[in-house]
Structure 1
């Protein structure tokens, strides 16, 4: 208590020079506090601005626009700047049923989906997509095929040094990573199949898949024919069958046929997914 009284006495007897010194120190401390606060605000605003304009790339699943049960795999840049050197990494690589399976006495073989390991460039709003599989066929396979796949996308906001896309700021090249999960169980088409197990539409979709398998089996054996006249007869028979189906389709005014491009079909080979050659 005596110490406090002594300090109050000293302050009451303090001259103008002393008060000026105290005011100068207080102003200095206040300036330091303001500078620290302003620096933190600037750093935070800079981080928010960088987060807002950086590339935002992710991978997700989406039903095809025309066939609800056909699922596409999409890689899209939702950010405001371009993404470079996008690398696709999976814990378990996505799989698909190989419908051109030489084993005709059992279910289709499960093979890895053919995907690129890297995409060079995605502009803002640009996407890359490919057809993955049919939810109906995967539902028929049940637990024999995996339905959940985890992975990550690694990409940069500038092209790597030495590439054709010049950046001019190699020192500021930043790499980002986006984790994703592809889950067939969470898709609306899968839930739709479960609700339509006994429905006529579900039965029709299954019959379409059976028809596809029959056509592929026919092509598998017919293409082994070596006699030209027999080969020509098979071609004429298929041409006639196609014409009959087209006439019946036009007569009934059925919905427009969905045409899908399968990137794994090479050299003009008909079919969907193929099992790897052993």
Structure 2
């Protein structure tokens, strides 16, 4: 997108994705601050949160809410404005579209022939990965796991054989339970919990999933934004998961799920409850 050279000129019409700080206002890039001052409209999750950032950037541009609960009409109104105005999309913290529904607005802009560009910057998941000391050549960001234990465990099993470091966002009240389920489902893997990144009380705690689960089960409920990172499976863990599915598929061809799980559990020395849950998943297709 061709911008004017003068910082006082308005931005050309289009959609501008602006990454804001994840805690430290000094991390707002000069280019992002410039866009916040020159845009016609700032679309943001929470105008009260964004007002602090706009003041720091010296911006007095009007704001309009755009968030998880915005409907199709709100999106259509924003897209219509982009025909002759510059609209900035700003999240409460970090890079828009990471674990939020902004992609629908971006997709709509592309479909309408509207130019989309970005001022890249902070992202909690990437910041955590950069300091965790876990393999970073291949990683998968999986957002928030389900709140209920059964659904959370099912999702973890789905990711169990992924040959990559797994990244999740989590809340303080659910962290201990999530780590316990991850340790039970994924086994002894290296992991890390990053909290309050770039803020005064930034914390990174490393260890095995079991170590971290034990720590947070006994510790006071953590505060702030949290990223959980789980290292990839070892060769032995990957082989066990593959062997489990192979054995279960063979057993399910001749017997019901309960008997198949009991047989495979005994043969592989795995917990029957874990094997039975996987048998039900495979049986459901």
Structure with a larger share of its residues in strand: 1
Look at both structures and tell me which one has the larger radius of gyration over its CA atoms.
1
Fold-level similarity (TM above 0.5): no
Where on the TM-score scale, by shorter chain, does this alignment land: which range? Answer: under 0.3
Q: TM-score, normalised by structure 2?
A: 0.25
Which has the higher relative contact order, 1 or 2, with Cα contacts under 8 A spaced 6 or more apart? 1
